[in-house]
Amino acid sequence: MFYGVEIEVFHGDITKLEVDAIVNAANTHLYMIGGVAGAIKKAGGKEIEEEAIKKGPINIGEAVVTSAGKLKSKFVIHSPTMGLDFKTDEQKVRLALTAALKKAEELGIKSLALPALGTGVGGLSRDKVAQIMVEEIKKHIETGTNLRKLIIVDINKEQVEIFKKKVEALK
Would you write out the chain's pLDDT as a tens digit for each of its 171 residues? Answer: 899 999 999 999 999 999 999 999 999 999 999 889 999 999 999 999 999 999 999 999 999 999 999 999 999 999 999 998 888 999 999 999 999 999 999 999 999 999 999 998 888 999 999 999 999 999 999 999 999 999 999 999 999 999 999 999 986
Domain boundaries defined on the chain: 6-168
Beta bridge partners of 115: 153
Residue 120 is predicted with a pLDDT of 85
> What's the predicted TM-score (pTM) here?
0.96
Assigned CATH topology for domain 6-168? Leucine Aminopeptidase, subunit E; domain 1 (3.40.220)
Q: In what order do the strands lie in the sheet with 21-27?
A: 6-11, 149-154, 111-115, 21-27, 75-82, 64-67
pLDDT of residue 67: 98
pLDDT number for residue 86: 83
The pLDDT value recorded for residue 80 is 97
pLDDT at 84: 87
CA 163 to chain centre: 14
